Amino acid sequence: MKKFIVAALAVAVLAGSGIGIASAYAGPRNTAQSAACTSVANLPVESLSQAEKDALTTSLQEEYLARDVYTAVIAKLGSIRPFTTIVESEEQHIAALTALFTKYQLTVPADAQAERTTSLMAGVTTVQDALKLGVTVEKEDIALYDGLVKNVDNQDILQVFGNLETASTKSHLAAFENVLAGGTGIGQGTGRGAAQGSRGTGIGQGTGRGSNGAGQGMRGTGTCIAG
């Protein structure tokens, strides 16, 4: 199987579900349409090695951890940004990976991150603590995907992994670092996506880089959803 090169701003669309992920970008609000989505369902079902099965499980547990940590931050410190936005993105990341398990007829592993979440949250008493923890979690995500792709050559898995790493790098990590530097986090705007089929349009979610540090983004309502 030929190694599939994942474009930095490629879009993963969940198989048969009408839900996907659009890669994020750093910058001001963008009202132009993105490139058309590529459906994971339209990519071939390739033979799945044990290494690829393990990679899917490892990545899902990592996304569970990020979702659980950010949920715990909100429960402890209140509905603070950018956690309120990013935790929703983590749910989308989990859904994207779950779709791959379904496509390959694999049992979806249960969330096994409760103990580690509790351990990580033990040192969080302030918003600054939480933001620094967010940076740590996102850097861990990025390093994880950098390693996992070395053992994967299925096109659909590589596409989803590439999108998840891009979301961590250009949206989540950038947002946490931006707020730590005095900005106000990532913004939410409006967007649109195709409700059916393998093609759709959307605008990426971004981080603020201006004088007020605020960013504009979107949350699509159809096929393409910001990551």
Q: What does the pLDDT look like over 191-219, one tens digit per residue?
A: 333 333 333 323 233 333 332 333 333 23
- The pLDDT assigned to 24 comes to 30
Q: Which amino acid is located at 198 in the chain?
A: S
Residue 184: pLDDT band (50, 70, 90) is low
Provide the token pair at 154. 């299925």
Indicate whether 107 belongs to any domain. yes
Task: Return phi, psi of residue 7, to 5°.
Answer: -70, 145
Residue 45: pLDDT band (50, 70, 90) is confident
Indicate whether 31 belongs to any domain. yes
> CA angle, corner 137, sides to 131 and 139, nearest 5?
105
What is the rounded distance in angstroms from the CA atom of residue 100 to the CA atom of residue 14? 8
What is the rounded distance in angstroms from the CA atom of residue 170 to the CA atom of residue 25? 6
Range of 117's domain?
12-207
Indicate whether 2 belongs to any domain. no
Indicate whether 134 belongs to any domain. yes
What is the rounded distance in angstroms from the CA atom of residue 41 to the CA atom of residue 19? 11
Residue reference for tokens 């959307």: 202
CATH code of the domain containing 145? 1.20.1260.10
3-state secondary structure of 127: helix
* DSSP secondary structure, 130-191, as one string: HHHHHHHHHHHHHHHHHHHGGG---HHHHHHHHHHHHHIIIIIIHHHHHHHTT--BB-----
Indicate whether 222 belongs to any domain. no
Task: Return phi, psi of residue 113, to 5°.
Answer: -105, 10
Indicate whether 221 belongs to any domain. no
What is the rounded distance in angstroms from the CA atom of residue 70 to the CA atom of residue 176? 12
What is the rounded distance in angstroms from the CA atom of residue 28 to the CA atom of residue 175? 13
Indicate whether 110 belongs to any domain. yes
Name which of 212, 167, 177 is nearest 66 in CA terms: 167
- Provide the number of structural domains found in the chain: 1
Residue reference for tokens 């880089």: 209
pTM above 0.85, yes or no: no
For the chain, give the percent of residues with pLDDT over 90: 57
Mean pLDDT (whole number) for 168-189? 79
3-state secondary structure of 109: coil
Q: Is the pLDDT of residue 165 over 50?
A: yes
